[in-house]
Amino acid sequence: MRKILLIIFFVITALHISAQIYDPVTWDFSYEKKGDNQYEIVITASIEDGSHIYAMIVPDGGPIPTSFSFDTLKSYKLDGTTFNVIPPIEKMDEAFGFKIKTYSKKAEFRQKVTAVDPSFTVTGIVNFMACNNVTCSPPKDVDFSVRISGGTNQPEAAESGKISSADVSTSSGSGGLLKFFLISLLAGFAGVLTPCVFPMIPMTVAFFSQGTGNKGQSVIKALIFGISIVLIYSSLGVVVSLTSAGAGFANALSTHWIPNTIFFALFVIFATSFFGAFEIVLPNKWASGADSKADQGGMLAAFFMGLTTVIVSFSCTGPIVGALLVEAATGDVLRPTIGMVGFGLAFALPFTIFALFPSVMSKMPKSGGWLNSIKVVLGFIMLAFSMKFIMTVDSVYNLGLLSRDLFLAIWIVIFSLMGLNLMGKIKFSHDSDLPNIGTFRLFLIIAIFSFVVYMVPGLFGAPLKALSSFLPSQSKSQLNLPLIISQNRGEGAFVSQQIPVSAICSEPRHDDIFEMPLGLTGYFDLKQGLACAKEQNKPVLIDFKGHACANCKLMEAKVWSDPEVLRRLRDNFVIIALYVDDRTQLPESEWITSQIDGKVKKTIGKINEELEISKFRTNALPLYVIADHEGNPVITPMPTNLNVEEYKKWLDEGFTAFNKK
């Protein structure tokens, strides 16, 4: 998602910049004929000395990679993906803090196409970002059009843009895709332990045991069966990944009210299905058709047996798969594929193992009511996580409908009902009688009610740091006990007696929309905050954040809440919180027109996006910048860092650097 977000963000950059246009890249587009109806589109970048563009793959959290989007037309067919001819060079990027592959002086990319019509035109977009040692251009879309008629090459050139920027150190992603892969694996195993799937294992083993008795053939068929299931689910992930590759798609999914409301409804529907109200099934003729193919025998039958298993189990696995795809589609473009590979592997593994080693079947637990209990537990979890999408809509659009304590109250009720269901106190239509409680069920009940008890203090203002990334901001709690706030406003041991906390210069703009965390005071408008900092002769701490930013909440709950950090923030800085995802429209007199794409930016979030990316070369959230009265950073900005001691050291270094100027 970061790649797609940066595409949108950097396009909004140059309005506040008075420097000359940084224009280091020229693009040429041509083609070469490779055979009958076979062509290669040749895309060449000529790069000025001292500048570079980035490779097609960069680490998570890094800059914009060079990417290519080709329009799909009936007159030609794309063969494979775009590939580089000149290999990139990997080197340490001091701004981002890790090694990144780049192209200098020249880069060449190619895309193979097969002609369907004798003459056709290949069109598309190149997106890239150019940098040198002191500045970066915003990511730019360059349209191209290559006419192919079997004749000579027809190159076209295009321009690139320029901005000025400051260096910023950002850390690479901490295994986001790996984490999602592991979650998908667990979801796949959970799918096996549902009443639609688990009883199918013995039938599947019987299918592979029948026939000639050839052990080697049975093993091959079992492996084909398992691989088929993985491929079926993976293909579904690939389709969603390709759909998600459109510019702005993931950003819209993650913040816009329409997709978030749809996802909320889908999660509720999935949960209701798991509670037994109805079943989500695929058409019966699909299963019948696949099953008839499986009955024909042969190696191909193993594939159709896998397809039959996927279709028949859909009433239990469909909601799980749907939930994974919804969550994946709002993230990195590879997440749907990675998620479905993980789910498919875990789902296929038990079937394949039992097919390879039928004797292990004797150790399997028998089917029973416990299978439906797993299904119901999954339903409660989906219902709880559906609140995430409503929370995003409420936060981004400042509706004020879902306070922190209301959110927690709903979760407390949901997980309490889950525990009561496992105890047999409340039952759904498919639940069986529970004469006694087994050991595993008992420990699960204890864990659930412990979680419920943990959440209760949050109703009265406890920070609940372990859940901070899932919950609305603590400032939105209607029942917040003012422990931290009272300390911060002068009643605690950590308050400086020299500078009163409330010493801001004027009423902050937009304070009816935004709130500072932890009782801090500050501004939500850059100009107003800089003016106050100049009046008080303090440095500013610019906090680029978002309503839907989980790391922002973690930083405030785990780092800013530290008494020593709070004291420094309160006494030493004028804080300016700039929300980059807020959709509040400003008066027309404050609208700006981007010098890059010519579009009018009307909202608080869009204008703050321009500032962050044009000046600091990143869209990292959160991003903390200690700056002087002109808004220029005095030390390297800080991204997410949950180490309290390092954050305190960074604040002290920034304060010292400002006072030395």
Q: What is the mean pLDDT of residues 165-185?
A: 57
Query: Does a cis peptide bond (omega within 30 degrees of 0) precede residue 319?
Result: no
User: How much is the pLDDT for 331?
Assistant: 53
User: How much is the pLDDT for 199?
Assistant: 59
**Cα distances (Å, whole numbers) of residue 121 to 34, 42, 113, 235:** 17, 14, 11, 29
What's the CATH number of domain 2-158, 3.40.50.2000, 2.60.40.1250, 3.40.50.1820, 3.30.2130.30? 2.60.40.1250
How many Cβ atoms sit within 10 Å of the Cβ of residue 443?
Answer: 10
Per-residue pLDDT of 404-436, as tens digits, reads 888 999 999 999 999 999 998 888 877 777 788
Confidence class for position 107, pLDDT limits 50, 70, 90: very high
Asked if residues 44 and 98 have their Cβ atoms less than 8 Å apart, the reply is no
- What's the full length of the chain, in residues? 661
Comparing 66-75, 383-392, 454-463, 609-618, which segment has the lowest mean pLDDT?
609-618
- Most confident segment among 9-23, 138-152, 534-548, 550-564: 534-548
Q: What is the mean pLDDT of residues 617-621?
A: 68
Residue extent(s) of CATH 2.60.40.1250 domains in the chain: 2-158
User: How much is the pLDDT for 4?
Assistant: 41
Per-residue pLDDT of 470-505, as tens digits, reads 777 666 666 555 444 444 544 443 333 333 444 678
Does 593 score more than 90 pLDDT?
Answer: no
What's the CATH number of domain 497-580+619-660, 2.60.120.380, 3.30.450.20, 3.40.30.10, 3.40.50.1820? 3.40.30.10
More confident position, 458 or 594: 458
Residue extent(s) of CATH 3.40.30.10 domains in the chain: 497-580+619-660
Does 157 score more than 60 pLDDT?
Answer: no
Single-letter amino acid code for the residue at 56: M
Which pTM value belongs to this model? Answer: 0.44
Residue appearing with tokens 């979760």: 411
More confident position, 524 or 221: 524
Per-residue pLDDT of 375-397, as tens digits, reads 788 889 889 888 887 887 777 66
Distance CA 559, CA 518 (A): 11
Per-residue pLDDT of 330-341, as tens digits, reads 555 567 778 888
Residue appearing with tokens 């079997």: 150
Q: What is the dihedral sign for C-alpha 33, 35, 36, 39?
A: negative
Per-residue pLDDT of 536-588, as tens digits, reads 999 999 999 887 676 787 788 889 988 999 999 999 999 999 998 788 888 88
Sequence-distant (≥ 6) Cβ neighbours of residue 435 within 8 angstroms: none
